[in-house]
Amino acid sequence: MYVTFSMEQQPFSYTPFFKVPRKILTNAPNIRRFPSSANLFREGDKAEHVYEVKSGVLRLARVLANGRRQVIAFGLPGDIVGFPNGDFYHTDCDVVSSAEVIAHRLSELESAKGDFETQHRLMQAALREISSMQDHVMMLACKSAMEKVASFLCVLSLRTGTPSSNYTDFSLPMCRADIADFLGLTIETVCRMFSLLRKEGTIALNTPQTVVVLDMEALIDASQSD
């Protein structure tokens, strides 16, 4: 599924800050289960696998020495995480909401020289990842706090929401701090934007982790021009 991140913008859609679900490998799956808060790998670990998310949500993050943290991406079902830099991972990867992943050994991928199909799929996944990171850059640098939060809700809604006739609802498995660190904002600012959207009747929160999109059009508008 493709989502127009800034809908009015281009004659063609492009992937937003989440990657496009697609399988990269067809061979024997090595499915692993991780509970909430589990760690898949840390920055600096030797990269052994790339992971394909089947269910649940992962969080890719990096921490600077001064304590500031940046959430690079959330890994939703269909996403591939764990692209190495050289031989090492360059982010931490933790479980936000208990997840099933398929672990693909990098050594196998590298040695699968006869398997052009696999090579090609992995390359396509890497290219999507580049695109996804560029979209994230666009958002961080070009959007206001409200636009960031609205964009975030838009994408989550489209990727994980269950649409009903008049509304779409979905859960926010990550805490406000994770959202803030993903969007380059503070917790308080994220909260304020949620509150504004609620007051405008664009969304409702059943619990702090359960969003109901009451007016998708308004949400899309808010994601583009405040």
Partner DNA sequence: CGCGAAATTGAATAAATTCAAAGCAGGTGG
Partner DNA sequence: CCACCTGCTTTGAATTTATTCAATTTCGCG
Q: Which residues pair with 71 in a beta bridge?
A: 61
Which tokens sit at 153?
A: 């809700």
Binding to a second copy by residue 64, rule CB under 8 A?
yes
Look at residue 128 and give the partner it binds from a second copy, DNA, none, a contact being a CB closer than 5 to 8 Å depending on partner kind: a second copy
Closest CA to 213 of 200, 225, 224: 200
Question: Coil, helix or strand for 144?
Answer: coil
Q: Which residues pair with 101 in a beta bridge?
A: 32, 53
- Binding marks (x or -) toward DNA, 143..162, rule CB under 7 A? -xxx----------------
Q: Which residues pair with 168 in a beta bridge?
A: 163, 213
Of 126 and 204, CB closest to a second copy: 126
Look at residue 186 and give the partner it binds from DNA, a second copy, none, a contact being a CB closer than 5 to 8 Å depending on partner kind: DNA
Look at residue 10 and give the partner it binds from a second copy, DNA, none, a contact being a CB closer than 5 to 8 Å depending on partner kind: a second copy
Of 11 and 199, CB closest to a second copy: 11
CB crowding 35-44: b at 16 or more within 10 Å, else e: eeeeebbeee
Q: How far apart are CA 125 and CA 223, in angstroms?
A: 26
Binding to DNA by residue 96, rule CB under 7 A?
no
Binding to DNA by residue 191, rule CB under 7 A?
yes
Which tokens sit at 11?
A: 């004659």
Of 47 and 212, CB closest to a second copy: 47
Reduced DSSP (H G I as helix, E B as strand, rest coil) percent helix, strand, coil of the chain, to 5 = 35, 30, 35
Number of residues that bind a second copy (CB under 8 A): 50
Q: Which of 32, 90, 192, 215 binds DNA (CB under 7 A)?
A: 192
Q: Which of 31, 127, 142, 175 binds DNA (CB under 7 A)?
A: 175
- Residues near DNA, by CB under 7 A: 144-146, 175-177, 184-192, 194-195, 205, 207-209
